[in-house]
Amino acid sequence: MTIDDAPRDALRGGPRELLRWVATGAAVSRADLSRLSGLSPSTVSQRVEALISQGLLEEAGAGRSRGGRRPRQLAVPTGGAVVGAIDLGAHHARVGALDLSGRVVQARTLPVRIEDGPEAVLGALLAEVAALVDDDPAVSRGGSATGALRGVGIGIPGPVQHSTGRIVSPSRMPGWNGFDVAAFCAGRVDVPVIVDNDANLMALGAHRTAHSELDHAVYIKAGTGIGSGVISSGRLHRGAQGSAGDISHCRVVADPAPPCTCGNAGCLEAVASGAALVTALREQGVPVSDLTGVIRLIDDGDRQATALARQAGRAVGEILAVVVNFFNPQVVAIGGRLADCEPLLASMRATLYERCLPLATQTLLIERVAAGQDLGITGAAHLVIDHVVAAA
C-alpha cells in the first residue's frame, strides 16, 4: 500500500505502451505489437502473457488469418468496475468506478463540506467508492465478478507532494495542511492509492481522451482556484516535488494588487480565480454569493462582472505566455467552470498572441478542454492503471 509514481516505462514496447496500443485500437494482435514496437515476436509474446496473467489484457477470439493459424486478438478487459476515482472540488466531489480502459462504469456527484476536515470528507468518499465498486452492474447481472478493486486515484484541489501524497499549504482548505492522505487511506483500503492535485488529473484525463497523439500540452484548470497540468513528452510532468504547473501564485500586473491567501499580493489566484471574482464583485457592492452567480452575471452581460472577467483573462494570458515561450507546447487548453466564460477566453487568447514568440504560436492550438465532469476521475483512473501496469 504505497503512493508512488509508476516507474519509468519510456523504452519502446514497455508494458504500458503495449497496453496503450491495444486500448487505442492501434494493435489487435501480437504481430501488430511486434511491428509497432520493433521487438521480436518472442519478446512481445512474453510481455503479452505477463499482462494477460495480471488480468490487464485478454484474448478476444480469433482474428483474420493471412494463411496458417489464425492470430488470437487482444483486447483490454472492459466493463469491470475495478478502478476507484475521487475528484474532490471546493463544494462537490465526483466519485467513480472505472474499468481498465479508463471508461466510467458508474459515477456520482456528492456535495462536500471541505471545512469538515480530511478525515470526515475522505472517509465518506472512500466509502462511496467501495459502494460503487460493489454495485458493479456486471456483477449484479450475474456476470463474472471482475470487480476486484485494483487501486484508487484521488485528486485534491491543492498542492500535493507527490512522493508522499501529503497536502502542502492549500488555499481555502482549513484543517487540511500537512494531511497525509496516503496514510489515512492505507487504513481503509488495501489497494494502492495514488494522490495528485486536481489540475494534474484534469490534464491527464484530457490528454488521454483528446490529445494522446500530441507530446507537449498545457491544461489550465480555472474554477474556484486556478492551476495547470503539464504533459511533456507524452507524460505528466510533476517536477521534483509535484508542484510543476502550479501557476496560482505567479505574480501578475494588477493595480491595486489584491492580497492573496499565501501572504503576497497580486498572485494570479487573487486576480483571476473564481474565488477572486466573487470577492472583487462583492467589494464593488454586487451581492453575489458564489462562482455560479458570477458566471450568470457574465452571461447576462453585466458590466462590472464582464470587466473583471476580461481582466482575469489578461492575467491568465500573461502567465500562459511565459509558460508557452518557455515550454513550447503543441496545445494549450483551458478547462474548469470559467472555461465557458467568453470574455475571459477572448482576452486570454489575445494576450497570449500578443506576448508570445511567433515561433511558439505559429502552430499552437488554443482550445477549450472538452466539457465533461468526468475528466478528473478519468485522469485519476489512468494514474491507477499506469501504476498497476508498471507494477505488473
Nearer to Zn ion, 2 or 264 (CB): 264
Cβ proximity to Zn ion: between 241 and 264 the closer is: 264
Give 243 or 330: the residue with its C-beta nearer to Zn ion: 243
Grid coordinates representing 93? 466531489
158 binds Zn ion (CB under 5 A): no
d(Cα 92, Cα 94) in Å, to the nearest integer? 7
Per CB under 5 A, 310 contacts Zn ion: no
Nearest to Zn ion of 205, 245 (CB atom)? 245
Strand partners, 88: 93
Q: Do 383 and 196 touch, CB atoms closer than 8 A? A: yes
Backbone torsions φ then ψ of 95, nearest 5 degrees: -120, 135
Return the beta strands (E) in the chain as ranges: 58-62, 72-75, 83-88, 92-98, 104-111, 151-156, 160-161, 166-167, 193-197, 217-222, 226-232, 235-236, 331-335, 365-368
Cα–Cα distance, 316 to 70 (Å, whole number)? 55
Backbone φ and ψ for 391, nearest 5 degrees, come out as -70, -30
Q: Which of 11, 262, 365, 370 binds Zn ion (CB under 5 A)?
A: 262
* 314 binding Zn ion? (CB under 5 A): no
| By the rule CB under 5 A, 169 interacts with Zn ion | no
Span from 42-50, 69-77, 267-275, 347-355 in contact with Zn ion (CB under 5 A): 267-275
Closest CA to 272 of 332, 317, 219, 331: 317
Give the binding range for Zn ion (CB under 5 A) out of 66-74, 213-221, 266-274, 279-287.
266-274
Chain positions 26 to 45 lying near Zn ion, rule: CB under 5 A, are none
Of 15 and 274, nearer to Zn ion (C-beta) is 274
Given the complex with Zn ion, which of 24 and 264 has the nearer CB atom?
Answer: 264
CA distance 312 to 285: 19
Counting residues that bind Zn ion (by CB under 5 A) gives 5
Q: Does 246 bind Zn ion (CB under 5 A)?
A: no
Measured CA to CA, the distance from residue 343 to residue 312 in angstroms comes to: 9
93: Cα separation from own chain's centroid: 14
CB closer to Zn ion, 18 vs 260:
260
Closest contact distance (angstroms) between CB of 268 and Zn ion is: 8
β-strand partners of 84: 97, 152
Task: Report which residue type is found at 85.
Answer: A
- Using CB under 5 A, pick the residue from 18, 267, 377, 389 that binds Zn ion: 267
Q: Is 249 in the site for Zn ion (CB under 5 A)?
A: yes
CA triplet 35, 39, 40: central angle to 5 degrees?
95
Stretches 154-162, 249-257, 316-324, 380-388: which one binds Zn ion (CB under 5 A)?
Answer: 249-257
Candidate segments 70-78, 82-90, 243-251, 323-331, binder of Zn ion by CB under 5 A = 243-251
Of 260 and 320, nearer to Zn ion (C-beta) is 260
Residue 12, amino acid: R
Q: Quick one: which of 269, 267, 237, 239 has its CA closest to 253?
A: 267
Question: Whole-number minimum distance, CB 91 to Zn ion, in Å?
Answer: 21
Pick the stretch among 114-122, 224-232, 247-255, 286-294 that binds Zn ion (CB under 5 A).
Answer: 247-255
Neighbouring-strand partners of residue 85: 96, 153
Name the residue nearer to Zn ion (CB basis): 150 or 249.
Answer: 249
Shortest Å, Cβ 264 to Zn ion: 5
225 binds Zn ion (CB under 5 A): no
Among 90, 104, 218, 260, indicate the residue that binds Zn ion (CB under 5 A). 260
Q: Which residues bind Zn ion (CB under 5 A)?
A: 249, 260, 262, 264, 267
